[in-house]
Amino acid sequence: MTEQTAGRKVTANLVISLDGRYHGAGGPTDFATFASYATTDVARDQMTRMRENATTAVLGRVLAEGFMGYWPPVAADDNADPRDRGYAKWLVDTEKVVLSTTLTEAPWERTRVVNAPAADLVSELKADGEGDILVNTSPSVTKALLSADLLDRMYLVLIPEIAGGGLRLFDDGLPPSKWRLTYQEAGDLGVMALVYDRVR
């Protein structure tokens, strides 16, 4: 994969279906179509890859609440897959920024809550600090950054199913952009890990 030459790289990760959806037709909590692919070697290796250079995690509130309820116990579980445990430890220990209009204080350590447009927050983060900024499985934030052309890299896991309903990652009206495939891996069940870097 290509390396960043200057400044902080803004990255995002998401699991999407063949028809570009990030959840099923049943609504934002419908992940039945996606669940069996989350524990494949390809998906777990992609999870490791995306956090390797990341020093800041940006999350939406709903996802952050789910993540911080689920992952901390995994970090302490000696029986967990080492890749899951590594990700969990990274999430607990890294700097986290949660975008929210309702939270008034951070409910987790090493976390701050920001009520601001995603593009403004990420522009601020890019101007200070080191390491990648990972928009961590937060499609609304990812969409906002695609609209503002602030994403430098996308870590996608593509599952071989058509969800048939649900929201899409790539909405109509996004500004045109060109991306270069810098990594790909196919695995069991037909799942693929893809890494795309923005060509500027």
Is there a contact between 166 and 20 (Cβ–Cβ < 8 Å)? no
All structural domains of the chain = 10-199 (3.40.430.10)
Nearest CA-CA partner of 63 in 86, 44, 91? 91
- Give per-10-residue mean pLDDT for the chain (200 aa): 65 97 91 92 97 96 86 94 96 95 89 96 93 95 96 98 95 96 95 98
3-state secondary structure 162-174: CCCCCCECCCCCC
Amino acid 186: pLDDT: 97
DSSP-derived letter for residue 9 is P
How far apart (Å, rounded) are the C-alpha atoms in residues 124 and 74?
A: 31
How far apart (Å, rounded) are the C-alpha atoms in residues 165 and 65?
A: 25
Amino acid 3: pLDDT: 45
Helix, strand, or coil (residue 124): helix
Amino acid 107: pLDDT: 82
